[in-house]
Copies of this chain bind each other. A is one copy, B any other.
C-alpha cells in the first residue's frame, strides 16, 4: 500500500515528527554510481526557501543505509534515511483534538482508531516527499539521458512569476494560502511504454502523482480543454512514420502508450490548509463547533515545492516501465 512499482519498487515510510522519514528502493539495477551528493540539487529545490515556503529547516542529509557499495548500487535494496531534527511537536499537541479543515487529521484519526501519529500530520505529512525525491533521484540517473522537468505554471490565479510572488505575499499578509498548477515535460521517452488496459501510461502516472499530498487533479496534453474541442482540432496530425505529430494535444500518449513525442501533463495543487486565517471545525472531545487558526511554520503555496516531487514520481514510473520493457539493463557497465 505504501509501495509502488513492479520491477523498480519504492516503499516510503516515516513520520513528520518521528525519528526519520525514508525509502527503500528495490529493483534498482546494479552498477549505478550513487553518492550522497547526487541528491543535493533536487533536495534543495524541494526544500525551497521562497518567502511562501515553510520556515522549518531540515538539513535533508540522505543517509544511505544499504544497497550501495564502493560508490555503486549493488542490485540489493537501497535504503535511504532522513533524520528529523528541526521538530517542534508542541505546536501540534494542542491541535490533537481540533482537526484542521482540509487536512488528513480527522480521517487519519478515524481510519486508525486514534493510534496515528498526529504530530505534524505524521505519516501524511508533506515531509515524506523528501523520501520520494530521493527515490526519484535514483530513477532519474537510471533514465539518462531522458530529461524530466517540472515547473510551476500558475499560482494564486496568475501565471507570470512576478505576479505569483505578489499573489503569495498578499495571501501571506492575510494569513492565507494559494493553490497552483505544476506542469511536467519529459523529453526522450521512447515509443511504446505503457499497456493498453489498466497499466496505461496515464494510469501509472496518475497513480504515482496522486501520492503527492495536495494534488487534486491531473490532465495530459490538452486535458480538460479537449472537452471543448472538436476531433478535427484535438487529434494530432501524424507527420512521420515514427509518429512525430504536428501538435501535441495527446501529451505524448495514444491509447495509453507513449507515442515518441514529448510527454506532457499538468497537476493542480490545492492551497495549503495550515493557515493563520480562522476556519471552522469541531472540538472532538465535546463535539462543539470552534474556530481554528494554525500558527507555526507553513507553506503559503505548496505548489512551489512540488516540481522536484512531481519529477520524482514521474521518474519512478518511467524507470519501472523502462525495466519492464527491457530498455534498461539489470547491470550497468
Candidate in A101, A104, A257, A333 with the most chain B CB atoms within 10 angstroms:
A101
Q: How far is the CA of A255 from the CA of B224 in the complex (A)?
A: 24
A11 to chain B, nearest CB (A): 5
8 Å CB contact of A227 from B9, B30, B181, B202: B181
Residue of B nearest to A284 (CB): B241
Q: How far is the CA of A179 from the CA of B279 in the complex (A)?
A: 38
> Which residues of chain B are within 8 angstroms of A203 by Cβ–Cβ distance?
206-211
Binds B, one of A41-49, A140-148, A229-237: A229-237
Residue of B nearest to A259 (CB): B107
CB contact under 8 A between A110 and B230, given known A3-B3, A102-B250, A289-B239? no
> Which residues of chain B are within 8 angstroms of A236 by Cβ–Cβ distance?
101-102
CB contact under 8 A between A176 and B230, given known A11-B26, A107-B191, A107-B243? yes
Residue of B nearest to A10 (CB): B198
A115 at the interface (CB under 8 A from B): yes
Q: Could you jot down 23 A-B contacts, CB within 8 Å? A: A1-B198, A4-B198, A6-B7, A14-B66, A14-B79, A30-B111, A65-B81, A69-B116, A75-B112, A101-B237, A101-B238, A106-B238, A107-B254, A154-B227, A157-B227, A176-B230, A176-B231, A206-B210, A213-B256, A216-B251, A226-B268, A239-B280, A240-B287
Q: Mark A105-122, 1 if CB is under 8 A from B, else 0.
A: 011101111011100011
| A69 and B18 within 8 A (CB) | yes
A27 at the interface (CB under 8 A from B): yes
Size of the A side of the interface (Cβ < 8 Å), in residues, is 152
8 Å CB contact of A66 from B15, B111, B171, B221: B15
| B11 and A77 within 8 A (CB) | yes
A185 to chain B, nearest CB (A): 16
Residues of chain A in range 2-23 having any CB-CB distance to chain B below 8 Å: 2-4, 6-7, 9-15, 18-22
> Which residues of chain B are within 8 angstroms of A202 by Cβ–Cβ distance?
210, 215-216
Q: How far is the CA of A14 from the CA of B218 in the complex (A)?
A: 29
| B104 and A254 within 8 A (CB) | yes
